[in-house]
Amino acid sequence: MQATIDVNGLRKRFGPTVALDGMSFSVKPGQVTGFVGPNGAGKSTTMRVILGLDAVEEGSALIGGRPYRSLRHPLRHVGALLDAAALQPSRSARNHLLWLAHSQGLTAGRVDEVIEQAGLRQAARRKAGGFSLGMRQRLGIAAALLGDPPVIILDEPFNGLDPDGIVWMRELLAELAGQGRAVLVSSHLMSELQDVAGHVVVVGRGRVIADTGVAELLATVSGDRVTLRTTARQEAARVLEHAGAVVTAGADGRDALTVSGLTAEGVVTLLSRNTVPFSEVAAHRATLEEAYMELTRDAVEFRAAAGREAAR
């Protein structure tokens, strides 16, 4: 079975609210795909549709080319964590995994393996109702890994994790993708996915705004900038603009300039050659969060403009 998710033109309404408005994207094996958007953008609904829990009016969601509901042992194909709190509080963690295992024809031995993998050995026989949110996330991860599935779907897995837990989750995601699995991870915070996701699908209002590799996103949306401190601002600007850079006044102080279109090394070389004095040159790498803000700002402006048109 191919480790892929193909979402094609999903449309769904809840009463008058449009939840999914032509949602389409695909998730490839061997990398973490970030599924990012503000709350209410349709991320969780899309995931529920992929898992056959919610029906759609139009469109299809396929796992390795097949609809989820046609899978005989679905947890052996797709491991998912949608809501870590969705369990019977009086059942122990191990027994929760045990009934799941039995539903897939798996043995208790496999249950003990994932308990170990999720770091739950000490707590396995305690009632899951007494777990902290972080522990429940780990239990949810254990359940998702139970069937050793080629496709993993996690809804907001960083929620409720302490710093150790966040590091653990990031390493786990990288490891799962490294094993060739297709990993889809939703988040409303782009920063959580920095250095983890290889690909991002940015969504808003039930549709895809951007579907791109993280490297391309960073390069196209923002580009790198250099912050320069100098007492000879006019001279520095003249030299740098002559070399093709765009120079703007820096935000923080009278002697600061922001330069884009040149590397930090390029700025140092040019200024030195032209004997322009400077006290500091700092390279500023665009973050995924900035790229995301820029993308969604465009989307917001587009919507605002469209709204004005419609109101006219």
Partner 1 sequence: MRQQLHAEWTKLRTVTGTGRLLLGTVMLTLAVSAAAAAAVSCPPAGCDYDPAEISLFGVQLGQAVVAILAVLTISGEYGTGMIRTTLAAMPVRTTVLAAKAVVLTGLTLAAGTLAVLASVLAGRLILPGNGFTPAHGRPLLSLADGPMLRAAAGSVLYLVLIALLSLGIAAAVRDSAVAVGSVLGLLYLFPVVILMVSDQDWQRLLWRISPMNAGLAIQATTHLSSLPLSPWAGLGVLAVWAAAALLGGGLLLRLRDA
**Which positions lie near partner 1, rule CB under 8 A?**
48, 51-55, 68-69, 71, 74-75, 80, 82-83, 85-92, 95, 98-100, 102-105, 143
- Which residue lies nearer to partner 1 by CB, 54 or 156? 54
- Nearest CA to 202 among 30, 15, 46? 46
3-state helix, strand, coil in the chain (%, to 5): 40, 25, 35
In 29-170, at which residue ranges do the beta strands (DSSP E only) sit?
31-36, 58-63, 66-67, 78-81, 151-155
- Which residue lies nearer to partner 1 by CB, 56 or 197? 56
- Which residue lies nearer to partner 1 by CB, 90 or 269? 90
CA distance 14 to 86: 22
Q: Is residue 148 left, alpha or beta, with left meaning phi > 0 and alpha meaning psi from -120 to 50?
A: left
* CB 209 to partner 1: min, Å: 25
Q: In the beta sheet, which residues pair with residue 259?
A: 226, 247
- Which residue lies nearer to partner 1 by CB, 146 or 295? 146
* CB 114 to partner 1: min, Å: 14
- Which residue lies nearer to partner 1 by CB, 54 or 192? 54
How many of the other CB atoms lie within 10 Å of CB of 11? 16
* CB 74 to partner 1: min, Å: 6
Return all residues near 222 (Cβ < 8 A) that are at least 6 apart.
286, 290, 291, 294
* CB 104 to partner 1: min, Å: 7
What distance, in Å, lies between the first and last C-alpha atoms of the chain? Answer: 53
* CB 67 to partner 1: min, Å: 9
Kindly state the tokens that stand for 169: 């989750």
What DSSP character marks residue 171?
A: H
Kindly state the tokens that stand for 55: 């029906």
* CB 87 to partner 1: min, Å: 5
